[in-house]
A and B are shown apart, each in its own frame.
Chain A
């Protein structure tokens, strides 16, 4: 059986990039083996011959572009979708998962990209939620605590079981998520883009944790499109493109460039901005802005923040999530009120100016949380496309909305930003996250803003579309856009920005030249390990 698997992995996977895999014949069965998985949706094949063999106790990376079929594989492995063809084996036993329950019973656990934790409960409560030990209605808290402490110690996942989740950082929350699946008996842990939300230092910590887990025999499936990280952590790599596994590789034998070629069939685009277009006209000026804490006694959300974004300039803000970036953007667009200082555009102080008036002055906004702040999920795309611009003269006269103009605008976004949708009447809920994001970016960019405040504009969208967004941003910058960019993707941030500011605990702690700073230096500023040079 294993010989067959070897032959398939090495020879039959198809595609020009086959690199001899690491699958030496071995005695123990694979922790997970997917064979010839086919999953069809009417008219289209999402998975068309996926073969993955994961050796027990290893870290196996599954890489591919967005839309390549990674998430379908993941859903099949976790039991939320059933394959039309093919076999799933877990530890050598064939499995037919009807639901995630079956997958959990087979020892598979999933850590989602977006954490599913209750903020107002403690770590312990979160971990046992839904799997409470004990009889009847009484929860055996003591046993739960002991089990959790043991699990945490054995796997190097140190955490205070009584801390409230709301007090934890992103890295710690991820640890809680991992503990959650281990608590449910998982010996195979699937992590979906786990590093997307982490800063470099936290990524390093996560990798140490993953190594420790693997050394205790836990098998890890690591889904990612960040090639450097994959090369740093994985024992084996499987590449998926257009629904097929096109190659398997081991990190020591490939470079990031090789992997990129396997993934997209071409080179990776770069975020680098070419020519300087910065003028000395101050468009957006933020001076001494302060925002008080919501809870008494805690630090201010924004503390004496000052900077200027000139016409034709991109100012990037680096920082670990939750250090005031969100509040800063919201203050500029006028959602949150500031308690001190001033924000002005072209010399007009924005005190007392409503969000809709700021919009009319030409301020665009790409919020951090697209579901909560940017979309009307049950509404058609054309209604989403004019959100925030509904009062613009472009979309109607007097009190009426010009539907034809709105639809034409939507078509324009769809073609310029490659939004994949059946029509402008499709509800935005139906679109994948990446396509939703392209719609949001498109509607703000095509409205020709004077100032754009943007959070993670390319989060969740695939490499090709990312390049299109970067191009659009560069173009707009050339035409004089003042862009304030918050991004967790440091490559994007360093590549696009003319100036990089670092935010920590509501303050700007460093002003850096993106051409002269490395990612890891930036990471040190972000965590406060390195102090001001500005």
Chain B
């Protein structure tokens, strides 16, 4: 009997189940609105399967994935960083200014911009970390409020004529010179952002840091059992601050593929909502690097594919994409919990068996 096969089954059963349920719910929604779900899904699959769609999905998945990693770092030590949203937008505007205004060759500007994003993200998240550690302010509340503060900060910064000006009826930061655009390759007329390698590096770094390093061990230990971590020599307050800073540092990078590969400037229209989407990615991907990569790709794909529903015969049902994503997240979270309890019960059973087996070996 292969325990590995059982493990694989447990690992895949939940996400697959969630996917099936999501498709069923979306199908029902389509039926209710008088459309044929099969036609709609077929449209989605055809449109989503084009080279252009696939490459776009990868590009769009990049910020989702990084945002998921940022949220996951907090989750691993029981901190809920809802503030990724604020951290990445504030980091993006600073990075845009640094990349555009500081002198230097293109690659240096890219590095400086990303470094600035990391620092700003880490510092902004640290505020919530410090408040939580030393003033016992719940980090959920603190980060939500800091998101509000960010909105105001960004608006004020955009009005500052040293860094932004009105062009085409919009406040914008100066454009990054072409040399500071992150490279991309073209497949069949579509650009694939090479920032994908940075994202992969972040994923690998996350995996090893959390699962293999002493710091990751201590971080997880304080998430699982703060009392035991304390007795083991982990300073829980410092751990909170460090974790929030790390989460924020990664959050700072969320906007980088957009800034360095697509927009090359920061405007009020700079994409919003990625921080919240990251929470869904972290949940569906179970805070595992590969899982979150899959979740980010799936979410990006669904968003892209549901664009097909803007044309006849199923015009006007584009929100099916959102329904799919939402249902999948809810179902996945429930399914993971069910599977976790199953696995736990199994383990208890096995251990009880092992403990008792010595009695069974003694002939009665």
Contact = CB atoms under 8 A, between A and B. Distances in A.
Contacts of A48: 364
A44 interface: yes
Interface stretch (A113-121, A177-185, A428-436): A428-436
Interface in B229-270: 230-235
Interface in B204-228: 212-215, 217-218, 220-221, 224-225, 227-228
A426 B350 contact: yes
A401 B217 contact: yes
B353 interface: yes
Given A41-B349, A359-B233, A376-B224, A421 B354 contact: yes
A399 B354 contact: no
A164 to B, nearest CB: 24
Contacts of B227: 369, 372-373
A67 B355 contact: yes
Nearest to B357: A44
B214 A390 contact: yes
Interface string A186-197: 000000000000
B344 interface: yes
Given A355-B230, A367-B231, A373-B228, A426 B212 contact: no
Nearest to B230: A335
Interface in B335-360: 344, 347-360
Contacts of A460: none
Interface of A is mostly: loop
B224 to A, nearest CB: 5
Interface string B81-98: 000000000000000000
A390 B218 CA distance: 8
A356 B234 contact: yes
Contact of B360 (A45, A359, A377, A390): A45
Contacts of A431: 351, 355
Contacts, number: 136
B362 interface: yes
A400 B349 contact: no
Nearest to A388: B232
Given A48-B364, A388-B233, A430 B356 contact: no
A379 interface: yes
A354 B344 CA distance: 35
A391 B349 contact: no
A383 B344 CA distance: 17
A387 interface: yes
Contact of B215 (A365, A372, A399, A422): A399
A16 interface: no
A77 interface: no
Contacts of B218: 390
Given A356-B232, A427-B344, 10 more contacts: A43-B353, A43-B357, A44-B352, A45-B356, A355-B230, A358-B233, A372-B228, A421-B354, A432-B352, A432-B355
Interface of B: 212-215, 217-218, 220-221, 224-225, 227-228, 230-235, 344, 347-360, 362, 364
Interface of A: 14, 41-46, 48, 67, 242-244, 333, 335, 354-359, 365, 367, 369, 372-379, 383, 386-388, 390-391, 396, 399-401, 403, 420-422, 426-427, 429-432, 435
